Amino acid sequence: MGRCGWGSSPNVITGTDLVSQVLDAIRRHGMLAGGETVLVAVSGGADSIALLCCLRTLAPELGLTLHVVHVNHGLRPDAEADQAFVEELARRWGVPLSVERVAIPVGRGQSPEAAARAVRYDAFRRAAERIRASRVALGHTADDQAETVLMRILQGAGPRGLAGIPPVRGLYIRPLLEVRRHQIEAELRRLGVTWREDPTNRDPKFLRNRIRHDLLPFLAGSFHPRIIEALCRAGALTRALVTELETLAARELDRLAVSRGQEILLSLGELQGLPPGVGEEVLRQALFRLGETGPFRAWAQRTLRHLLESEDRAGQFPIGRVLLERSMGQLRLARGSPAPIPERPLPVPGSLAIPESGVVIEARAFDRAAGYRPPSGPWRVAFDRDQLNPPLSVRSRRPGDGFHPFGAPGSKTLKAFLIDAKLPRWERERLALVAAGGKIVWLVGLRRAAAAPVTPATCRLIELSAERHSSCRRSVDGVR
C-alpha cells in the first residue's frame, strides 16, 4: 500500500480500516475496473483529502493514474488560501493538479448553492475531458447521505429524491459514501494529515447546516442514536427500488421509442398501458437521452404525469431544453420544433433531397406508352404534363393553404385535411408539399391532389416518386 502523509511521512493507511472500506465499496459498486485515469475532486476539506489519500494508497494495486482538480469559486475570503493548500498538497504528494476558476451566475431562478453545484460539476466535466479521465471521484460521506435523505424528506421528495446520493452516476464515483465523517477525521489525525475547514459549513442560513448541526444531533439524542445509519439504510433500500424501476423503464424505452436524430417518438397508448409509474420513468429517461441531465424537479414530474393522464388531445410542454409534444395519440420529445422546409424548385427531370422531412423526390417526364397504368400509392404519383402549371416546387405548409384531394368532391383547408388524416402536429410541419404554379398537387407520402389527372387523352406525363431515408423510415411509419 502507498503512503498518505505529507512528503516522506511514513504514515500508511493499512488493510483493516478506511482503505479496506473504500476498496470494498469500489468493488461492490463497480466503481473502477482497474487501470483507469481518475480525476479526484479536492476542495481541501477532510473528506476530499481522505479520498485522495485512500486512492493514492490503492493506485498501485488498481493500476490507477490519479489527477487532482480543485475548483475555486472565488466566493469566500479564504478561497485563495484553500487553493494554495491544495496546490502544496498535490506538489508534496506528487499528483498532477488542475485548478478551475469559475464564476457563479446570479439569478436564473436557482439558489446560490444550486448554481455553485452546477458550475462545479461543469468544471469537473471539462477537466475530465481534458485529461481523458474515465472517472471523477467525489468525497461525499455517509453523513452527507443521511443529511440529503432527511432534507429530501422535509422537502416532500419522491422515491428518487429519497434514494439520496448514488454511489455511481455516469462519470462520477463516491468511494467514501458509506464511511462516517468522524471516522475520516480520526484517521487523518492519526496520520498527521491536516485539512481546511470551510466556515460556511456552519452558517445556519443553509438548510443542510441546520440539519447537520441541529436536527440530526437532536434525533440522535432523543430518538435514535444511530440515525445516520438508519437514514443511509432507508436511502439504499429506496435506491434499489428506483434502480429496478429504471432498469424496467430503460427496457421499455428501447422497445417503444422511435428515434430520429435528436427526437424520440412514443405511442401514448403504449405508455399508458405500462404499470403505474413506469410510463413517467420512460419519459424521464427519454429526456436524459436527449441531454436533459439536470435535477428533475417536482413540477417536471407533474408535467410527465399530466402528459400521460390528461384527456387533452394536444399540447406542448417544455422541460429544460427539451420540448414535449402530444398529438394524435403520439408523444414527441425533441430539442425544439421541426424546421420548416424552405421553398425549393423541383427540377423536371431531376431529383431533390428534402432533409427537413427525410425524403428524396425524383421527377421524370416522358410520353405515354401503350399499356401505361398510373401509380396508385402515396409515394409515387403521375400527372398530365399538359394540365400541370409550371414551375414545380417543394415547400412546407403555410397558413391558409387549401387542398383538393384526388377523388374528393371539393377542396378543404389543408389543416383540416391533415387533422382528419390523424397526422401529428409535428409531422404536419415537416410534411413535404409539391406545388405546381403555386397550387398544391401532392402531399408527399400521403395523398395526391385532384389537379392534372391522367386520363385516356393524356399524352405527356410527369411522374414523381419519393423515397424515405432509411434512418427515418420507422419514425414516419409510426405515425401513420
Q: pLDDT by residue (tens digit) across 322-333?
A: 999 999 999 999
For residue 8, the model assigns a pLDDT of 34
Cα atoms in the Cβ-side hemisphere of radius 13 Å centred on 197: 4
Distance between CA 120 and CA 105 in Å, rounded? Answer: 12
Query: Which has the minimum average pLDDT: 100-104, 311-315, 395-399, 469-473?
Result: 469-473
Structurally, what CATH architecture does the domain formed by 257-334 represent?
Answer: 2-Layer Sandwich (3.30)
| pLDDT confidence band for 475 (50 / 70 / 90) | very low
Distance between CA 350 and CA 363 in Å, rounded? Answer: 5
- In this prediction, residues 188-197 reach a mean pLDDT of 94
CATH 3.40.50.620 domain position(s) in the chain: 18-235
pTM: 0.72
Distance between CA 149 and CA 228 in Å, rounded? Answer: 10
Q: At what angle do helices 46-62 and 18-28 cross, to 10 degrees?
A: 70
| pLDDT confidence band for 107 (50 / 70 / 90) | low
Residue 61 has phi, psi (to 5 degrees) of -65, -40
Cβ neighbours, 10 Å, residue 108: 8
Residue 143 has phi, psi (to 5 degrees) of -65, -40
Alpha-carbon distance values, 473 to 243, 324, 347, 467 (Å):
33, 21, 24, 9
For residue 113, the model assigns a pLDDT of 75
Quote the percentage of the chain above a pLDDT of 70. 92
CATH 3.30.465.60 domain position(s) in the chain: 257-334
* Tens digit of each residue's pLDDT (9 = 90 or more) over 407-465: 999 999 999 999 999 999 999 989 999 999 989 999 999 999 999 999 999 999 999 99
For residue 400, the model assigns a pLDDT of 92
113 or 73, greater pLDDT: 73
For residue 477, the model assigns a pLDDT of 35
Distance between CA 116 and CA 103 in Å, rounded? Answer: 8
For residue 14, the model assigns a pLDDT of 38
Q: At what angle do helices 278-289 and 298-309 cross, to 10 degrees?
A: 120
For residue 242, the model assigns a pLDDT of 92
| pLDDT confidence band for 243 (50 / 70 / 90) | very high
Query: Are 334 and 286 a contacting pair, CB within 8 Å?
Result: no
For residue 303, the model assigns a pLDDT of 85
The three grid cell numbers given for residue 7, joined into one nine-digit string: 512528503
| pLDDT confidence band for 224 (50 / 70 / 90) | very high
For residue 295, the model assigns a pLDDT of 66
Structurally, what CATH architecture does the domain formed by 18-235 represent?
Answer: 3-Layer(aba) Sandwich (3.40)
Q: Which of 101-110, 172-181, 196-205 has the highest mean pLDDT?
A: 172-181
* Tens digit of each residue's pLDDT (9 = 90 or more) over 129-148: 999 999 999 999 999 999 99
For residue 341, the model assigns a pLDDT of 94
For residue 248, the model assigns a pLDDT of 96
- In this prediction, residues 313-322 reach a mean pLDDT of 84
For residue 104, the model assigns a pLDDT of 81
For residue 311, the model assigns a pLDDT of 73
Q: Over 90: is that where the pLDDT of 287 sits?
A: yes
For residue 128, the model assigns a pLDDT of 97
For residue 390, the model assigns a pLDDT of 87
For residue 6, the model assigns a pLDDT of 38
DSSP secondary structure string, 80-114? HHHHHHHHHHHHHHT--EEEEE--PPP-TT--HHH
Reported as type and span, the H/E element at residue 238 is helix 227-256
For residue 469, the model assigns a pLDDT of 64
* Tens digit of each residue's pLDDT (9 = 90 or more) over 250-259: 999 999 999 9
For residue 313, the model assigns a pLDDT of 66
Average pLDDT, the chain: 89
For residue 108, the model assigns a pLDDT of 57
Cβ neighbours, 10 Å, residue 441: 24
Q: Over 80: is that where the pLDDT of 474 sits?
A: no
For residue 15, the model assigns a pLDDT of 40
Q: Over 50: is that where the pLDDT of 34 sits?
A: yes
DSSP classification of residue 202: G
* Torsion-angle region of 207 (φ positive above 0: left; ψ -120 to 50: alpha; else: beta): alpha
